[in-house]
Amino acid sequence: MKLLKKYIYLILLVCILILSFRVRYVDPLSLADLKPWPDALEYSLSAYNLYHNHIYGFQLFGQYYPTSYPFGYPLLIIPFYVIFGSQPYNAVYCSLFFAMLSIVFAYLIGKELGNRFTGLIAALFVAFCPLNITFSKYIMTETSSVFFTLFICWLLLKVIYLNSRKQMLLLLFLGILAGFSVLVRLTNCLLIPPLLISFLFGKKSKAWSFLKKETLILFGIILVLIPLFLYQFYTFDSPLRTGYQMRYPEIFGKFKCFSFKFFTHPQHVGYPNQDNKRGNFIAYLFAFTGLERHLYPTSMIPLILGGGLLILSKRREHSKQMILLIFLSIYVSSLLVLYSFFYYQSDRFLLPGGSLLMILAACGTTYFIDKGIFKSLTKGSIFSLVIFSLLLMTIMQMVIWNYSQPKSPWIGNSQFKLIQNINKYIPNNAVIISELIHITAEHYFTRYAEDKRVYISLSNSHYQSNIPRSSIKPIRYDKSKKYSFLFLSDGTLNPRTYNFIWLTLKKGIPVYLVSFPSHPAYKSLLPSIERYFNLIRKQGHRRLFRLYLKDW
């Protein structure tokens, strides 16, 4: 009977995983435009270059440039390139894989804290989390950050009460895991303080023993972070300087992206599509209470509070549960405080902390449904019914959210299809001036033509204007050689563009102006390029120059 009960829970877990895969899977080709950028663009293409060219960075005008992000996530993407092919859009399999693993580890943590039913409820909550489902479909670090958060938490619960050589090896591995999570996403460093602090509240031991174990964890963390510091020293001339500071000095230089004004007032710095109505602290507080965003429904809050209060009331009996509560409390508070002062407001930052809170809600559900904790059977039955109703309301609300969400505008490959169409008509040795996103376009244009094709973008967006364009060494940022090619700093057309087009045509290389009449730049910038074209037509020899103007 016990064996049958065990297999029933496993079968139910497999069913949850199958259903989760079904709602998370998206055709990788539909992400060929590599959006939302710059995240998806830089992660996928830097992983591609690391895999094929053994250089970490993205390519622009035939030269490699450092990315804004550390190299941990691209390293995770490479195995999926090996399995599914190195097309950049196949990087989405990495997000999907870690989203599925997160559900498994939510089950394992729930089982560790309670029983298989607790694990099943925890897996169900994480599986139907709308934000988790959304970011499973994008090439971003959200789902992998959730995975590392849950993996570290589960390993902490497993290792904290061991007392053997095996514990020492697991502590070292725990430190390496925490360090690598920082390589995946720099803000995952917030996992380190709760890991070290909650370890102190485990099994009572001598101070020297605690110090030795904490040192082992720190050693594992430092061991993994050394390559990151060496990379940053070689690339940015300082082990503590990141790609964010070099690429966006006006925001991240001297920590300008952190300010008390963001705590109370919504910001729109560099992201005009944001529609924030509240300051960061209130917005994130509302998100954690389920009143806003789609982290989890408000009906889950009584389950979270109930689980936390019950653990506190029985802290001597529930030692592992207490460790989870300490770890969770410190980590969630750190997330809330850090991002309350951050210039950019997004609910995706809270996803790892929200996943831990959902596991706590699963513990609260199973604890309160247990009638043995009540003296009166009648009162217990009524209370259990209320908790069960909240559970059903929560799951139903999460399902409704998922099915009511409109299709994301990021899922679409219109630019990729356009590039394929252009490739049918334009020869390899050509210059293309267009409004396509230049980094992805250059990759798709030059993939089969090696380095014969030069691609120039007409875009003047905030993101693209921060990319250094110069003949610098691969993966070496040199501010002294930075210049804007098609545009001046005020966004106007660079006079050098005319000379560039003229010299290119003089070499016998055709220049294509691919214009998009519906794009705003068409009315202001493209006419200037057209005047250059007309001037060259009048001055140039028709047999020497080949010039093309085409609308798509």
Q: What is the pLDDT of residues 113-140, one digit of tens each?
A: 888 889 999 999 999 998 899 999 999 9
Q: Does some domain include residue 50?
A: no
Domain co-membership, 341 together with 434:
no
The last residue of a domain, from among 404, 438, 461: 404
Q: Which residues pair with 514 in a beta bridge?
A: 434, 550
The pLDDT, as a whole number, for residue 376 is 52
What is the model's pLDDT at position 364?
85
pLDDT on residue 473: 35
- Note whether 418 and 400 are same-domain residues: no
Q: Is-contact 426 432, C-beta < 8 A?
A: yes
Structure tokens at 5: 């009960």
Query: What is the pLDDT averaged over residues 68-72?
Result: 91
Q: Are residues 396 and 418 in the same domain?
A: no
- Region 203-229 average pLDDT: 86
On whether both 344 and 439 belong to a single domain, the answer is no
Residues 120 and 6 in one domain: yes
What 3-state class would DSSP assign to 124? Answer: helix
In the predicted structure, residue 62 carries a pLDDT above the cut 80: no
d(CA 445, CA 437): 12
The two beta strands, 58-60 and 454-457, are unpaired
Clarify whether residues 359 and 421 are in a common domain: no
Residue recorded with tokens 């929200």: 354
Contact criterion met (CB below 8 Å) for 426 and 449: no
Instruction: Report how many helices (DSSP H) and strands (DSSP E) the chain contains, helices first.
Output: 23, 6
Q: Amino acid identity, residue 1?
A: M
Residue 419 scores a pLDDT above 60: yes
Highest mean pLDDT among 18-32, 202-216, 298-312: 18-32
Are 351 and 429 within one domain? Answer: no
The strand pairing partners of 400, in sequence order, are none
Q: Is 524 within a domain?
A: yes
Answer yes or no: are the C-beta atoms of 109 and 327 closer than 8 Å: no
Check whether 519 has a pLDDT greater than 70.
no
Q: Which tens digit of pLDDT belongs to each residue from 71-113?
A: 999 999 999 999 999 999 999 999 999 999 999 999 999 999 8
The pair of three-digit structure tokens given for residue 474, joined into one six-digit string: 């691969």
Is residue 89 included in any domain, yes or no?
Answer: yes
CA distances (Å), origin 195, targets 148, 151, 156, 201, 324: 12, 12, 8, 11, 10
Among the listed ranges 16-20, 254-258, 373-377, 527-531, which one has the minimum average pLDDT value? Answer: 373-377
Q: What percent of the chain has pLDDT over 70?
A: 78
Q: In which residue are the tokens 């506190």 written?
A: 312
Q: What are the helix (H) ranges across 25-71?
A: 39-52
Phi-psi category of 255—alpha, beta or left, where left has phi over 0 and alpha has psi -120 to 50? left
Last residue of a domain, one of 404, 430, 457: 404
pLDDT at res. 432: 78
Rounded CA separation 200/211 (Å): 10
Give the residue, 421 or 525, on which the prediction is more confident: 421
Length of the chain: 552
Select from 398, 543, 467 the least CA-distant residue to 23. 398
Question: Within this chain, do residues 295 and 425 fall inside the same structural domain, yes or no?
Answer: no
- The answer to whether residue 380 scores a pLDDT higher than 90 is no
Is the pLDDT at 284 greater than 60? The verdict is yes
Task: Specify the pLDDT at position 453.
Answer: 65
Regarding whether 134 and 92 lie in a shared domain, the answer is yes
Q: Are residues 136 and 238 in the same domain?
A: yes
Whole-number Å distance between alpha carbons of 474 and 234: 11
Q: What is the pLDDT of residue 258?
A: 84
Tokens 């502590």, residue located: 171
Q: If residue 480 lies in a helix (H) or strand (E), which one and from where to where? A: none
* Across 393-410, average pLDDT: 80
The rounded distance, in Å, linking the Cα atoms of 148 and 152 is 6
Contact, 432 vs 457, CB < 8 A?
A: no
pLDDT computed for residue 490 by the predictor? 59
The dihedral through the CA atoms of 432, 436, 440, 441 has a sign that is: negative
Q: Tell me how far apart the alpha carbons of residues 369 and 382 are, in angstroms, rounded to a whole number.
A: 10
276 and 344, same domain (yes or no): yes
**Segment 229-252 mean pLDDT:** 82
Domain boundary among 382, 404, 426: 404
pLDDT at 28: 93
Give the model confidence (pLDDT) of 467-504 as tens digits: 544 333 334 444 444 434 555 655 566 666 777 777 77
Distance separating alpha carbons of residues 315 and 323, to the nearest angstrom? 9
> Are 443 and 88 a contacting pair, CB within 8 Å?
yes
Q: What is the DSSP letter of 540?
A: S
DSSP letter (8 states) at residue 163: -
HSE at residue 500, side-chain half, CA atoms within 13 A, is 18
Bridge partner residues of 433 (DSSP): 456, 513
The answer to whether 78 touches 85, Cβ cutoff 8 Å, is no
Provide the pLDDT for residue 417.
84
Residue 36 lies inside a defined structural domain of this protein: no
Band (61; pLDDT cuts 50, 70, 90): low
Is pLDDT at 530 greater than 60 in this prediction?
Answer: yes
For the beta carbon of residue 218, count every other beta carbon within 10 angstroms. Answer: 17
pLDDT in tens, 291-325: 876 788 888 898 898 888 888 877 665 688 889 99
> 222 CB contacts (<8 Å, ≥6 apart)?
179
Residue 37 lies in a domain: no
The pLDDT score that the predictor gives to residue 539 is 65
- The mean-pLDDT minimum among 25-34, 55-64, 217-226, 526-535 falls in 526-535
Residue 191 is part of which domain span? 2-31+68-404
CA distance 153 to 169: 17
Q: Which of 155, 165, 149 is nearest to 213 (CA)?
A: 165
User: Which residues are within 8 A (CB) of 475 and not within 5 positions of it... i.e. 6 or more apart?
Assistant: 55, 56, 57, 64, 65, 66, 234, 235
CA 124, 130, 135 angle in degrees (round to 5)?
A: 110
Per-residue pLDDT tens digits for 250-283? 777 776 788 888 888 776 544 434 456 778 888 8
Q: Kindly report which listed range (186-190, 353-357, 520-524) carries the lowest average pLDDT score.
A: 520-524
pLDDT band at 6 (very low <50, low <70, confident <90, very high): low
Overall domain count for the chain? 2
Q: Identify whether 177 is part of a domain.
A: yes
The token duo for 334 is 């750190």
Q: Both 128 and 236 in a single domain? A: yes
Residue 473 lies in a domain: yes
Nearby residues of 1 by Cβ (< 8 Å), 6 or more positions away = none
Mean pLDDT of the chain: 80
Q: Is the pLDDT of residue 456 over 60?
A: yes
Pairing of strands 511-515, 547-551: parallel
Q: Are 95 and 143 in contact (CB under 8 A)?
A: yes
Query: Does residue 235 sit within a domain?
Result: yes
